[in-house]
């Protein structure tokens, strides 16, 4: 495996802030944090707690309103973009006009076309199958709210983990996912960026098979979204151990976006790094330079066409061969 320059990636057996050893060498503990930095380190956990409190205490009318989930998710993304301006992690990841409008395009795409495809082609057929064969999980409706939320988080993230892992270990699926790894900076909305086929595949879940209240479902979705947003964000926030043991952080996910392909094959969980720890794919470290293929950023058109490039190249080669034969 190609070793990245130390200026690009810090590789270690444990998180650098833990101060444990790596290859026999002691890693220094972070000391002397400012009050501002200490508060920023707690912000991701505060977001998770605030989301749980909101959905746990919100009135039924607000929970059932069709715009509430989108409004809360949008507020989370916008507020984290604001935090990037206050406490930036890497100057090379700084948002610019082009990146903002590209990210906005994908946010809208995800909330419209991808959401429609997921609902119509996956969720509704799964619900119909559930009804036709008489599957019932009524017991789940009587669980404590926090347990229901934990179920939603685990069910969604478990499926995403294995789909994401498949994408990194099977070429046809990698071709759909690779555009997401061609991003050359990380920002709060970068989790939405990718080829539409990948965005649809990664959205698939068996959650529809379970009977759970709307508040718990929306809460779990919002928690996953917030964690993933911080895991992509250009914010100098290194959450404490109780958070990073369970949830994915920017350290974990930036390493997943390393510049050589082999180094991307770790930390597959978008939000629940605990799964990587359990299944042996966890790797500690951090990358400050991200991207693939000589760090070339793809346009939206290139991202859409990327999975079909081998077929397009083969067609062009065959066409060129036929032209040469004809001449």
CA distances, 70 to each of 57, 171, 229, 309 (Å): 18, 34, 14, 34
Summarize the confidence of residues 259-263 as an average pLDDT.
90
Find tokens 């119509």 and name the residue. Answer: 120
Give the burial class of 171: count Cβ atoms within 10 A of its Cβ; 0-12 exposed, 13-18 middle, 19 or more buried. exposed
Residue 116: how many other CB atoms lie within 10 Å: 10
Give 233-250 pLDDT, tens digit per residue: 999 999 999 999 999 999
How far apart (Å, rounded) are the C-alpha atoms in residues 239 and 81?
A: 18
Answer whether residue 301 shows pLDDT above 60: yes
Q: What is the pLDDT at residue 9?
A: 53
Check the CA dihedral 261-264-266-269 and report its sign: negative
Query: What 8-state DSSP symbol labels residue 24?
Result: T
Query: What 8-state DSSP symbol labels residue 26?
Result: E
The pLDDT mean for the chain works out to: 89
Q: What is the pLDDT at residue 15?
A: 53
How far apart (Å, rounded) are the C-alpha atoms in residues 144 and 247?
A: 21
Answer whether residue 274 shows pLDDT above 70: yes
How far apart (Å, rounded) are the C-alpha atoms in residues 254 and 4?
A: 13
Residue 93: how many other CB atoms lie within 10 Å: 23
Q: What is the pLDDT at residue 99?
A: 95
Q: Which two tokens mark 97? A: 């006009």
Find tokens 């409008």 and name the residue. Answer: 101
Beta bridge partners of 25: 22
Pairing of strands 21-22, 284-287: unpaired
> By percentage, how much of the chain surpasses pLDDT 70?
88
* Cα pseudo-dihedral 126, 131, 133, 137, rounded to 10: 90
**What 3 state SS string does 259-272 have?**
CCHHHHCCCCCCCC
* Cα pseudo-dihedral 210, 279, 110, 41, rounded to 10: 110
Q: What is the pLDDT at residue 155?
A: 97
The pTM score is: 0.87
Q: What is the pLDDT at residue 223?
A: 98
Answer whether residue 4 shows pLDDT above 70: no
Looking at mean pLDDT, say which of 66-70, 274-278, 311-315 comes out highest: 274-278
Burial 53-69 (b: 16+ CB within 10 A, else e): ebbeebeeeebeeeebb
Summarize the confidence of residues 260-283 as an average pLDDT.
95
Query: What 8-state DSSP symbol labels residue 66?
Result: T
Residue 87: how many other CB atoms lie within 10 Å: 15
The confidence band for 324, taking pLDDT boundaries of 50, 70 and 90, is low
Q: Which two tokens mark 145? A: 């709210």
The confidence band for 34, taking pLDDT boundaries of 50, 70 and 90, is very high
Give 55-108 pLDDT, tens digit per residue: 999 999 999 998 999 999 999 999 999 999 999 999 999 999 999 999 999 999
Check the CA dihedral 115-161-235-179 and report its sign: negative
Residue 133 sits at the vertex; the CA angle it makes with 127 and 139, to the nearest 5 degrees, is 70
**Separation of first and last alpha carbons in the chain:** 46
Per DSSP, the three-state class of 191 is helix
Q: What is the pLDDT at residue 315?
A: 85
Give 168-208 pLDDT, tens digit per residue: 999 999 999 999 999 999 999 999 999 999 999 999 999 99
The confidence band for 8, taking pLDDT boundaries of 50, 70 and 90, is low
């Amino acid at each position: 495996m190609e070793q990245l320059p130390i200026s690009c990636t810090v590789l270690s057996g444990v998180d650098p802030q833990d101060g444990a050893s790596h290859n026999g060498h002691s890693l220094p503990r972070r000391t002397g944090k400012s009050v501002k930095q200490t508060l920023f380190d707690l912000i991701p956990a505060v977001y998770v707690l605030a989301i749980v409190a909101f959905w746990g205490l919100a009135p039924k009318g607000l929970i059932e309103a069709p715009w509430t989930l989108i409004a809360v998710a949008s507020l989370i993304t916008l507020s984290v973009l604001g935090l990037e301006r206050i406490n930036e992690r890497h100057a090379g990841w700084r948002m610019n006009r082009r990146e903002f409008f590209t990210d906005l395009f994908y946010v809208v795409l995800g909330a419209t076309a991808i959401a429609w495809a997921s609902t119509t082609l996956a969720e509704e057929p799964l619900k119909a199958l559930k009804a036709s064969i008489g599957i019932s999980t009524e017991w789940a409706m009587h669980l404590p709210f926090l347990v229901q939320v934990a179920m939603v988080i685990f069910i969604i993230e478990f499926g995403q983990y294995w789909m994401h892992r498949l994408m990194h270990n099977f070429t046809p699926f990698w071709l759909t996912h690779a555009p997401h790894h061609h991003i050359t900076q990380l920002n709060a909305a970068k989790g939405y960026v990718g080829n539409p086929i990948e965005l649809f595949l990664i959205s698939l879940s068996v959650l529809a098979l379970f009977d759970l209240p709307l508040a718990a479902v929306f809460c779990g979705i919002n928690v996953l979204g917030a964690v993933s947003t911080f895991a992509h964000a250009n914010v100098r926030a290194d959450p404490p151990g109780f958070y990073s043991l369970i949830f994915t952080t920017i350290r974990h996910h930036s390493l997943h976006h390393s510049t050589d392909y082999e180094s991307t094959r770790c930390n597959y969980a978008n939000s629940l790094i605990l799964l990587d720890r359990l299944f042996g794919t966890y790797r500690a470290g951090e990358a400050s330079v991200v991207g693939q293929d000589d760090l070339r950023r793809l346009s939206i058109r290139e991202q859409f066409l990327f999975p079909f490039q081998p077929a397009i190249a083969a067609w062009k080669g065959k066409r060129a061969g036929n032209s040469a034969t004809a001449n």
